[in-house]
Amino acid sequence: MDTLMNKSMYTALRSAGAPEENAQEGASALGELAKEIIRLKSGQRLIQWMVGINITLSLAIIGFMLAAK
């Protein structure tokens, strides 16, 4: 169990009456899920930046093309 969240989840599961092995597995699964969510959020940020740059460059190119006429 790495994080405070995992320890809190383990404690909550144990308090609810879950066997120790199940509580450890549940807390571990929660930690893995949290890592996956963080990875997805960082990927989403990258895509947002890429789309923003693409829109900006596209508008600049359109502006130059219209100004050249």
Look at residue 53 in the predicted model and tell me its pLDDT: 98
**pTM reported for the whole predicted model:** 0.60
Q: What are the tokens at 42?
A: 């960082």
Look at residue 63 in the predicted model and tell me its pLDDT: 95
Q: Is 27 exposed, middle or buried (0-12, 13-18, 19+ CB in 10 A)?
A: buried
**pLDDT over 50 at 1, yes or no:** no
Quick one: pLDDT band at residue 34, thresholds 50, 70, 90? confident
Over the stretch 37-57, which tens digit does the pLDDT of each residue have? 999 999 999 999 999 999 999
Largest CA distance in the chain: 76
Q: Following DSSP, what letter does each residue of 2-56 receive, concatenated?
A: -SHHHHHHHHHHHHTT--HHHHHHHHHHHHHHHHHHHHHHHHHHHHHHHHHHHHH
